[in-house]
A and B are shown apart, each in its own frame.
Chain A
Amino acid sequence: MSGEIILQAVVSGLLMGLIYALVAVGLSLIFGLMEIVNFAHGEFLMLAMFASFWLWALGGLDPLMSLPLVAAMLAGAGLLVHWGIIRHVLDAPMLAQVCATFGLAVALRAGAQFLWTPDFRVVADPLVAGRVQLGPIFIGQPQLVAGFVCLAAFVALWLFVTRTETGLALQATSQDRQAAAVMGIPTDRMSALGWAIGLGCVAVAGSMLSTFFYIFPDVGTNFALLAFVAVALGGFGSILGSLVAGVLIGLIESLGGLLISPSYKTLIVFALYLAVVLVRPKGLFGRF
């Protein structure tokens, strides 16, 4: 096998991994803040992709252009979910919390099938299309743009959380909710903000994904599963961990697919997940 092919797999894996990472970081942020697993995370990715699709199909807006709008819509959905569902189950038994977000996932997926049918859709004439040649390898331009946008979103999130006052309060709430409340930090509002940011991140990933991936009601399932692996691998609540783990999963998937067999690529990722859970349950950068 030639070096070019391996390099090609590395680059594609890296770009896909950045998308996985951005999906995962939202999940991780929400879990870190209130120890609730958002089982509807993949469905919100699906909603973001459909939002991008319809804005393109009906409004003529390319997903790259509608990105801020879709991000705002999903952030709003995050606030709504927190206000309408999550805050009512915060002190409930874990099973109730699981059922709340899992039920939301089923409702959203079934709702999407009902409204938009299970058909596969594509954004047929994306603004950025085609491939670029970089030395011996070819990179899809939509993937390249998606990777950069996701990386930029990640950097923005990192700066917000570590450099701003509100970001510090978000971290404080995540590390010790009661101590934060005693300081005067409105922890409920921090949770709501966490949902808004978490789903905002998913929106950026979904919006970018919609430029080169099929859009259908079940599309989120696989991404959400990979995001769970990334969060477990990177460590619950760790932002940097999500980035490293997401990229790692992208690389493992593409290199495993190349070196072993494409049909086993997901198997390898989940085998890795099992290994991490058994050997280092708190993940690479975990705090729990």
Chain B
Amino acid sequence: MLLEVRGLDVAYGDFQVVWDVSIAVAAGEAVALLGPNGSGKSTVVNTISGLVPVQAGEIRFDDQNLTERPTHHRAGLGLAHVLERRRVFPHLTVRQNLMLGAWHPAAKAARARSLERMFALFPRLAERQGQVARTLSGGEQQMLALGRGLMGLPRLLMVDEPFLGLAPQVIGQMRAVFEAIRREGIAILFIEQNVRLALSIASRGYILESGRMAIAGPAKDLIDSPVTRRIFLGG
């Protein structure tokens, strides 16, 4: 397994929000992390990135223990994270944002090539490369955030709610991009609230409910499961 999270407990101060969550992602696989609002999805990926400290449990990536390591050590190992609400650097240009995505030495060496690849993948970003990121539309910012993540040459790309607030046709484009990313052998772990959309992209899924793992399995099993129905439809 490329990413292995075992028995993760997370708390903000005295307030525990995640209980005993285990997740695994194999190389080249697309996995969805699902759950209603406030179920702890973002907390889990933020903890994997080291932005939130681990209370108990273990995080391993490519057989290295990441549990106690600072956030900035991860990019160099091949773990990229596109944060919730895009989080592009608002006052830097599109090009500068992308350049900063390739910060660790290996990514820096491949920077020119990666940049061309991003502009081929997102022609819109090529047109707007000199523009300051905060002036982009929501969809363009999402593309920039994805591109910035890919500039780090990840083996696993974690994306927090990539489809949130996007127009239907942009969602279509994003799906195509996800396909392209996966064809290159990059694993994806993404957060989504729309079960059908998520499970049409991912081959497997995990569903969180109130900070605990409710159900996990192949996409087609999850879609038909009564547990999924109960969580998302309250039935």
Q: List A residues at the B interface (Cβ < 8 Å).
A: 168-169, 171-172, 175-176, 178-188, 287
- A169-B103, A176-B87, A187-B72 known; A181 and B92 CB under 8 Å? no
Are A183 and B103 in contact (CB-based, < 8 A)? yes
Q: Is B36 an interface residue (CB 8 A)?
A: no
Q: Separation in Å of the B2 CB from the closest CB of chain A?
A: 18
- A168-B100, A169-B103, A172-B100 known; A182 and B91 CB under 8 Å? no
Q: Is B152 an interface residue (CB 8 A)?
A: yes
Are B74 and A184 in contact (CB-based, < 8 A)? yes
Q: Separation in Å of the A123 CB from the closest CB of chain B?
A: 41
Are A175 and B89 in contact (CB-based, < 8 A)? yes
Are B92 and A172 in contact (CB-based, < 8 A)? yes
Instruction: With A168-B92, A182-B75, A287-B91 given, name 15 new contacts (CB 8 A).
Output: A169-B100, A175-B90, A176-B89, A179-B88, A179-B89, A181-B71, A181-B72, A182-B49, A182-B74, A182-B81, A183-B75, A184-B107, A185-B72, A186-B72, A187-B72
Q: Is B208 an interface residue (CB 8 A)?
A: no
Q: Separation in Å of the B38 CB from the closest CB of chain A?
A: 20
Are A182 and B71 in contact (CB-based, < 8 A)? yes
Instruction: Give Cα A88–Cα B100 distance, bound, in whole angstroms.
Output: 27
B90 surroundings in chain A (CB, below 8 A): 175-176, 287
Are B99 and A178 in contact (CB-based, < 8 A)? no
B83: contacting residue among A168, A178, A188, CB under 8 A: A178
Instruction: Give Cα A124–Cα B87 distance, bound, in whole angstroms.
Output: 54
**Chain B positions 123-172 with a Cβ under 8 Å from a chain A Cβ:** 148, 152
A182: contacting residue among B80, B88, B96, B107, CB under 8 A: B80
**Chain B positions 73-99 with a Cβ under 8 Å from a chain A Cβ:** 73-76, 80-81, 83, 87-92, 96, 99
A183: contacting residue among B50, B51, B70, B101, CB under 8 A: B101
**Chain B positions 181-232 with a Cβ under 8 Å from a chain A Cβ:** none
Instruction: Give Cα A171–Cα B72 distance, bound, in whole angstroms.
Output: 16
Q: List 25 A-B contacts (CB under 8 A).
A: A168-B92, A171-B89, A172-B89, A172-B92, A175-B91, A176-B89, A178-B51, A178-B71, A178-B87, A179-B83, A179-B87, A179-B88, A180-B100, A181-B50, A181-B70, A182-B51, A182-B71, A182-B83, A183-B100, A183-B148, A184-B103, A184-B104, A184-B152, A187-B72, A287-B90
Q: Separation in Å of the A38 CB from the closest CB of chain B?
A: 22
Which 4 A-B pairs give the minimum distances between C-beta atoms? A184-B75, A181-B71, A184-B103, A179-B87
Are B104 and A171 in contact (CB-based, < 8 A)? no
Q: List B residues at the A interface (Cβ < 8 Å).
A: 49-51, 70-76, 80-81, 83, 87-92, 96, 99-101, 103-104, 107, 148, 152
Q: Separation in Å of the A173 CB from the closest CB of chain B?
A: 9
Instruction: Give Cα A90–Cα B72 distance, bound, in whole angstroms.
Output: 17
B50 surroundings in chain A (CB, below 8 A): 181
A188 surroundings in chain B (CB, below 8 A): 70
Instruction: Give Cα A169–Cα B89 distance, bound, in whole angstroms.
Output: 10
Instruction: Give Cα A176–Cα B87 distance, bound, in whole angstroms.
Output: 7
Instruction: Give Cα A89–Cα B169 distance, bound, in whole angstroms.
Output: 46
B70 surroundings in chain A (CB, below 8 A): 181, 186, 188
A178 surroundings in chain B (CB, below 8 A): 51, 71, 83, 87
Instruction: Give Cα A6–Cα B210 distance, bound, in whole angstroms.
Output: 70
A180 surroundings in chain B (CB, below 8 A): 89, 100
Are A184 and B72 in contact (CB-based, < 8 A)? yes
Q: Separation in Å of the B148 CB from the closest CB of chain A?
A: 7
Instruction: Give Cα A188–Cα B103 distance, bound, in whole angstroms.
Output: 15
Instruction: Give Cα A172–Cα B92 distance, bound, in whole angstroms.
Output: 8
Instruction: Give Cα A151–Cα B191 distance, bound, in whole angstroms.
Output: 49
A187 surroundings in chain B (CB, below 8 A): 71-72
A186 surroundings in chain B (CB, below 8 A): 70, 72
Q: Report which residue of B81, B89, B90, B96 has the largest number of chain A beta carbons within 10 angstroms of its beta carbon.
A: B89
Q: Separation in Å of the A192 CB from the closest CB of chain B?
A: 14
Give B158's nearest chain A residue, CB to CB.
A182
Q: Separation in Å of the B170 CB from the closest CB of chain A?
A: 21
Q: Separation in Å of the B118 CB from the closest CB of chain A?
A: 14
